[in-house]
Chain A
Amino acid sequence: MDRECAQLLPPVCAVLGDSRQLVADDTFLEKFLDWFKTLTETESSLHLLQENPCLTELITCVLKLKDPSSSTLSFILRLTGIFTASESCFQYLQQRELLNSLFGEEGPLSSALWEEASVRSGWVQGVHTMTQHQSAIHFLCNCGAIDVIFTLQGDPSLFVASAANRLLVHILTFSLQSFQTKPVNIKDCDWPICAQKLIPHLEESLKSSSASRIKQSLKLLTSVFGCCHDLWTEVLWSQLSEPITYLLENEPFNAGNSLVDLFLSMARSPVFSCPECSLWKSASYALEHLNPAQAGCLSAGILKLQECPQAVRMQALSVLLQPMDCVLKAASQPLEYPGLLNNSLSDSATIETLLSCRSSCASLLCQTLAHLEELLYLTYMPVNLPHIPLLKSVVTVLQFGTGLATPASSLGSKISRILIGCFRVQRSALDILGAFSHWESHSVFMGSVSDILLAYLKSPDTSPTVLKKSFQATLKWLVRLSEAPSSRDYWLQTEQFFRDLFLVLQKRLCSHCWEIRDSALEFLTLLVKHLRDCYIFTEKEEFRQVLVSSEVPKFTEDLLEDPESYVRASAVLAMGQLSFLTHLNSKIPSTENGNGKEVKKKSIVAQLQEILVTDSEGFPRRAVISVFIDWLRDGHTDVLKDTEQFVSSVLQVVNCDLDWEVKAGGLELAEVFSAKTLGRVGLAGCPYVSVVSAATRSTQLNESLQIFYRVKLFEFLFGALCDCDRPVAQKACSILIALKAELCDENSLKEGLSAEHSFPEAHGIAWLEKTLRRWSSCAEPCPIGIANEAGSQNPNDILLVLRTIDLEGLNKSLNRSSDHIENSPQSLLQDILATVGTLEENEADCY
């Protein structure tokens, strides 16, 4: 603790210990505790207490108060917990008989304040923090605290009850952590007293008739098995398996979810991985007897395990597949399709009942589809999923959703009625349909997937969210197929799909619902972005032809003027990608204006620049900048024509933009440009570049500097460095540091700078702002890209500024968060005192 804080602490403690001086804002106390938590991590707690006797006095003082506030008492309990986490400190306070008064029977337990949940919570948290050594464990056992914690498990405050449960987990695992040998039986060995108290308590709770007690105990066990993988956990299971099995057999539904969590927590522990372990028998029983929703969760968890008996895996898979099997059979004739499961093994009556009911059908299908989707994304899949029939069942769900499936049974008719127009299930099914793209091939796509996707994309009844999912699933399949090696035939089939897709897309681009226009543009952007990189030359050209022959590019361009800013932004991004594929300007015919004269269409670069200058909303402008960055980075032909002119004009516009994200985008553009320029002239840090002579290097430097000077790069960067938005200044600073490292190393400076500029002293922002003002006042208006010879600013001036400004210092101060002063402990202590002062003043005002 520094000196200032040490000085401020006594009056603060005096205030906190004074019941008349209420600290109005509880967050002060929380910050105070956080500070001490940090302090005790680096300093000895005992030393802290000894050096600052006011802390011990504070504890004593609060304990002596007749009527302390609940928040102060709770604070003291937690503060003491932080100190007593150290055994020496624990002894120190124990000697002063403070701990019994705080955590023992004499303490708040027996006072009226115990009714306050905040006090009970403070007590539990204090005890939890304290329990880091055996002395604390002994203390808890001796003072009857364990029984108090048992009671708090059923506390009306959920926070307290949950904290008490966590505390018991901690006590049990902590007291048993020294157990390295495997005891045969809990009664035969010398288990710690805490554990000896806790385990019978758990056993009793599990056998009780109270559902909440059972759930708490199961939760506790779940946490124990989840966080501790020692051998004693196996003994614990052997002790408790009997009541748990009883629960499973007799009360499977009430505690079903908790049992699922417990089994999964145990199944993940290496202690229970042995196939002969009784856990698997219980898990198998649970899969059979829990309700389908609970069994589904357990199955999904089991199927993700690496170590698990194969029989249990297969059983879990059957549980997950059963609802899908029912759906599949409900829409196919018995001989037409064998189904997903072996009929003799599955009893589908329960599932059929759930699927027949409107309320349960959707939730069961959504849950099952979500679990299966997770499994499809697993890189390691321990069982073979029947992909083709499963995909068929998902397609059937989607067909039911639009009334395309023909029910083959009364169940099918019921499912059909429920699923038609059920967006929830449609969304889940489309999610998993997209996930299948990782597994399936082109023929499968063209077989059934493409039809159902097109049906959803085309249907006017598809809701905007379902449509978005349809686009996502379509994208996943198309990207996947483009990556897979395919024959010419495959492309020909896909080509027809693209033609159909673009017909749908152009209609969606004209939708009256802006969300749909936006989703369609987003899809188009991603599609072009992926496919232009994936396709080989022939296919890329054919894809381009299909795209250009549709109205999609034209309608996308129209949306640059959409009234909705999100749509304009998405249209900008889409045009950014499309322009890589299509030479739009040549495709778009000139239009006639009202006077019958031909108006030449603006180039896409000019259109986007105009948006950057004129659009009143931030999103489209940010989108333009991000497109420009991509163009510059990827070498777009329109940019390559005159990169300097392009960059210069963009930076000039961005410099005047009030949106910090646009400016940050501009800085990224500047960074890419500078890196490209330095790379082009051979100055980039490529390790394989041959070493150049000092003279050549100097020439190259000058060349780069001239380019930067012409595009007014440094003017922009220095301006951004002075920006009041910290991220902008930070970014500018890091770019300038990088440029300085390239341009201002000792050797390179020799050539460029005159003697009087050699050792300038470091300057800060104020000096920079002054310099920039001087530059701008001297500069005459001149065409972009032409150096202003008359101005006082020249490349050498720039270098001088770059070298002179204290970029490292600026960077350091910018990297500190803006509230670093307010967050300091001194500030906190001062605030506490000031608040009390204010309260007093207000009190005086009242009278």
Chain B
Amino acid sequence: MLDCGLDMTSTLNFLPLPLVQSPRLSKLPGWVLKDGSTFLDKELKECSGHVFVDSVPEFCLPETELLDLSTVDVILISNYHCMMALPYITEYTGFTGTVYATEPTVQIGRLLMEELVNFIERVPKAQSASLWKNKEVLRLLPAPLKDAVEVSTWRRCYTMPEVNSALSKIQLVGYSQKIELFGAVQVTPLSSGYALGSSNWIIQSHYEKVSYVSGSSLLTTHPQPMDQASLKNSDVLILTGLTQIPTANPDGMVGEFCSNLAMTVRNGGNVLVPCYPSGVIYDLLECLYQYIDSAGLSNVPFYFISPVANSSLEFSQIFAEWLCHNKQTKVYLPEPPFPHAELIQTNKLKHYPSIHGDFSNDFKQPCVVFTGHPSLRFGDVVHFMELWGKSSLNTVIFTEPDFSYLDALAPYQPLAMKCVYCPIDTRLNFIQVSKLLKEVQPLHVVCPDQYTQPPPTQSHRTDLMIDCQPPAMSYRRAEVLTLPFKRRYEKIEIMPELADSLVPLEIKPGISLATVSAVLHTKDNKHVLQPPPKPVQPLASKKRKRVSDDAPECKPLKPLLSGSIPMDQFVQALEKHGFSDVKVEDTAKGHIVLLQEAETLIQIEEDSTHIICDNDETLRVKLRDLVLKFLQKF
């Protein structure tokens, strides 16, 4: 199984979970059907024309119907965002296999899960809505609820014990480490340049190579750069995790982010940045580190609020070997690789586990707050949205591309604060994909259907799609695709003593052949040729010993023949041996030699020769010997 991501967009259908009692949210009217029925008014609330489920947010799990997940042997994880559904798989499906991921992926993935669990568990919700999921009810609901996919499979968030159990099934791997999977294939993680520890995977046998490229970046940000060279010579390249916002250049967006932040703060407003606790935030803090002095923002406090803020900031500093070259060299100076250490030291950046406690004492405005969750449905961000939403001086800047910012803002309407959308997605765009494919030249590209056509909203942008030769094979949700290659060969090893006994015969310059008689031993998908058992000595009696079942029968070896029969010379030889009426006919596959007098036919084809004569064994043997004279034996 390649990756194990969690679709969190389902949470956008739910009401936010406020940290403190929100009079606004609690006063939202219940939703009433067109016919006046009010049976759903406890479960569904209406806010500015949108309907939301008033319940604990639920998540959309990976596809479970198509495949029995208990039969999955291995899960390969590309990056920490792509493992968020892991507890659902490992704890609920009978999964007994192994999960492979790099160390930073596991550590930061754990932080993301821990944050998610914390956000949801610390605001327990008394009621749980389920009526609305009924199929009959669902079709009566307004969009987007009625169009929601597989609502019956939506699940509440997992718990910390489940997270711990899931993570205990992960085996840590390092970049370029070769891992044998049951002898059948070898898998290798490669740096993908997107996030700390993010990987692309190579899955290869001796004769086939499949590359799985997911969430990669060619930009110079904090992680180790993408390893492109190792992706070369792939039979199939599975390409996914491209940028979600191909029209937004990350450099330009960072510029926008800084400008909007400065404009707001200079006007006395506060800036709210809904974000994940790891990833782009490191780059944003680095950018702000260089920018705040030039923008005159030295006195503006920056707050990073997350239950895992401290761990995230500190983890980033210790994963030196997973960082880009510049940051690695800093470690040897020794200096902290990320400048946020200095921001913390100089008190410009302060971090808190939540808005409660120290934060409320230190809180000063105007300020900039980085906090989760980017969906705006849970986490400390909900509090700030409620707090600052009423003033047009404040700005919320969306940098994470995973959620539609308009949908995220829907339950906060009407909203006075300014909203700026600066999605910073450093993953590959289509120009970079095009260059990558030219560089690594896979025989076939397999990708989601969405990548093979321009985005629906910009159908004229033919540059925003994968353009490669041969055209990429695309797949849709729940579609079964046969990869365009077959395993034709297996590698077989020869034991040294057997190899020693071979006598190769050169049949063409540079090509030697030898016959091998051996026992093929196959175990765990490894094939080995072992020397055959010694021939059994015949017993004194004339009776042949019965061949035992466990020892293979060892017949005397017949020589193998090679070469082709030159027809002119063959006819001459026949004539020399007294066959006077030789006729040769050409056929599609070779020749037929007719010996009319002897009423005999010799069919000579590329890989077979038949002598058809009328029960004249002497003649047949004579002719056979004549044929054999022209062939090599070994």
Asked if A508 contacts B259 (CB within 8 A), the reply is yes
Asked if A512 contacts B263 (CB within 8 A), the reply is no
Residue A81 lies at the interface, judged by CB distance under 8 Å to chain B? no
Question: Can you name the residue of chain B whose Cβ is closest to the Cβ of A462?
Answer: B252
Question: Can you name the residue of chain B whose Cβ is closest to the Cβ of A512?
Answer: B258
Q: In the complex, which range does the number of interface residues on chain B fall in? A: 20 to 34
Tally of chain A residues near chain B (CB < 8 A) = 30
Residue A26 lies at the interface, judged by CB distance under 8 Å to chain B? no
Contact A555:B294 (CB < 8 A) given known A403-B461, A459-B252: no
Asked if A406 contacts B258 (CB within 8 A), the reply is no
Question: Can you name the residue of chain A whose Cβ is closest to the Cβ of B430?
Answer: A417
Name the contact of A460 in the complex, choosing from B252, B263, B293, B296 (C-beta under 8 A). Answer: B252
Within 8 A of B (CB), among A459-499: 459-462
Q: Cβ of B252: which chain A residues have Cβ within 8 Å of it? A: 459-462
A186-219 vs B, Cβ < 8 Å mask (1 yes, 0 no): 0000000000000000000000000000000000
Name the contact of B463 in the complex, choosing from A417, A462, A558, A563 (C-beta under 8 A). Answer: A417
Residue B605 lies at the interface, judged by CB distance under 8 Å to chain A? no
Name the contact of A512 in the complex, choosing from B247, B266, B290, B463 (C-beta under 8 A). Answer: B290
Q: Cβ of B296: which chain A residues have Cβ within 8 Å of it? A: 558, 561-562
Residue B504 lies at the interface, judged by CB distance under 8 Å to chain A? no
Asked if B460 contacts A407 (CB within 8 A), the reply is yes
Asked if A511 contacts B462 (CB within 8 A), the reply is no
Contact A562:B294 (CB < 8 A) given known A403-B458, A416-B462, A510-B266: yes
Asked if B267 contacts A551 (CB within 8 A), the reply is yes
Within 8 A of B (CB), among A552-569: 554-555, 558, 561-564
Q: Cβ of B422: which chain A residues have Cβ within 8 Å of it? A: 460
Within 8 A of B (CB), among A483-529: 506-508, 510-514, 516
Asked if A507 contacts B249 (CB within 8 A), the reply is no
Residue B208 lies at the interface, judged by CB distance under 8 Å to chain A? no
Asked if A512 contacts B460 (CB within 8 A), the reply is no
* Cα A487 to Cα B266 with chains together (Å): 38
Asked if B287 contacts A512 (CB within 8 A), the reply is yes
Asked if A417 contacts B267 (CB within 8 A), the reply is no
Asked if A416 contacts B263 (CB within 8 A), the reply is no
- Secondary structure at chain B's binding surface: helix, strand, loop or mixed? helix
Asked if B458 contacts A510 (CB within 8 A), the reply is no
Asked if A507 contacts B294 (CB within 8 A), the reply is no
Question: Can you name the residue of chain A whose Cβ is closest to the Cβ of B463?
Answer: A417
* Cα A511 to Cα B253 with chains together (Å): 11
Asked if A510 contacts B259 (CB within 8 A), the reply is yes
B426-444 vs A, Cβ < 8 Å mask (1 yes, 0 no): 0000010000000000000
Asked if B293 contacts A563 (CB within 8 A), the reply is yes
Asked if A510 contacts B293 (CB within 8 A), the reply is no
Q: Cβ of B258: which chain A residues have Cβ within 8 Å of it? A: 510-512
- Secondary structure at chain A's binding surface: helix, strand, loop or mixed? loop
CB distance from A429 to the nearest CB of B (A): 18
Residue A413 lies at the interface, judged by CB distance under 8 Å to chain B? yes
* Cα A564 to Cα B290 with chains together (Å): 12
CB distance from B299 to the nearest CB of A (A): 9
Residue A672 lies at the interface, judged by CB distance under 8 Å to chain B? no
Contact A510:B267 (CB < 8 A) given known A407-B460, A416-B463, A417-B462: no
Within 8 A of A (CB), among B478-499: none
Asked if A563 contacts B294 (CB within 8 A), the reply is yes
Q: Cβ of A563: which chain B residues have Cβ within 8 Å of it? A: 293-294
Asked if B294 contacts A403 (CB within 8 A), the reply is no
Contact A512:B254 (CB < 8 A) given known A403-B458, A416-B461, A558-B296: yes
* Cα A462 to Cα B460 with chains together (Å): 21
Residue A420 lies at the interface, judged by CB distance under 8 Å to chain B? yes
* Cα A405 to Cα B463 with chains together (Å): 12
Q: Cβ of A460: which chain B residues have Cβ within 8 Å of it? A: 248-249, 252-253, 255-256, 422
Asked if B462 contacts A512 (CB within 8 A), the reply is no
CB distance from A707 to the nearest CB of B (A): 40
* Cα A30 to Cα B256 with chains together (Å): 58
A531-570 vs B, Cβ < 8 Å mask (1 yes, 0 no): 0000000000000000000010011001001111000000
Which of B256, B293, B422 has the most C-beta atoms of chain A within 10 angstroms of its own C-beta?
B256
Q: Cβ of B248: which chain A residues have Cβ within 8 Å of it? A: 460
CB distance from A566 to the nearest CB of B (A): 12
Asked if B260 contacts A507 (CB within 8 A), the reply is yes
CB distance from A692 to the nearest CB of B (A): 55
Q: Cβ of A413: which chain B residues have Cβ within 8 Å of it? A: 462
Q: Cβ of A554: which chain B residues have Cβ within 8 Å of it? A: 266
* Cα A406 to Cα B463 with chains together (Å): 12
Q: Cβ of A508: which chain B residues have Cβ within 8 Å of it? A: 259
Q: Cβ of B291: which chain A residues have Cβ within 8 Å of it? A: 512
Asked if B249 contacts A512 (CB within 8 A), the reply is no
Which of B251, B259, B260 has the most C-beta atoms of chain A within 10 angstroms of its own C-beta?
B259
Residue B56 lies at the interface, judged by CB distance under 8 Å to chain A? no
B462-487 vs A, Cβ < 8 Å mask (1 yes, 0 no): 11000000000000000000000000
Question: Can you name the residue of chain A whose Cβ is closest to the Cβ of B291?
Answer: A512
Q: Cβ of A417: which chain B residues have Cβ within 8 Å of it? A: 462-463
Asked if B460 contacts A416 (CB within 8 A), the reply is yes
CB distance from A515 to the nearest CB of B (A): 11
A sample of 4 more A-B contacts (CB under 8 A), given A407-B460, A506-B263, is A403-B463, A512-B295, A513-B255, A558-B296
The 3 closest A-B pairs by CB, nearest first: A460-B252, A510-B262, A512-B258
- Chain B residues engaging chain A, CB cutoff 8 angstroms: 247-249, 251-256, 258-260, 262-263, 266-267, 287, 290-291, 293-296, 422, 431, 458, 460-463
Complex A-B: 13 CB contacts under 8 Å: A417-B462, A420-B463, A460-B252, A460-B256, A461-B251, A506-B263, A508-B259, A510-B263, A511-B258, A512-B258, A512-B295, A555-B266, A562-B294
- Chain A residues engaging chain B, CB cutoff 8 angstroms: 403, 405-407, 413, 416-417, 420-421, 459-462, 506-508, 510-514, 516, 551, 554-555, 558, 561-564
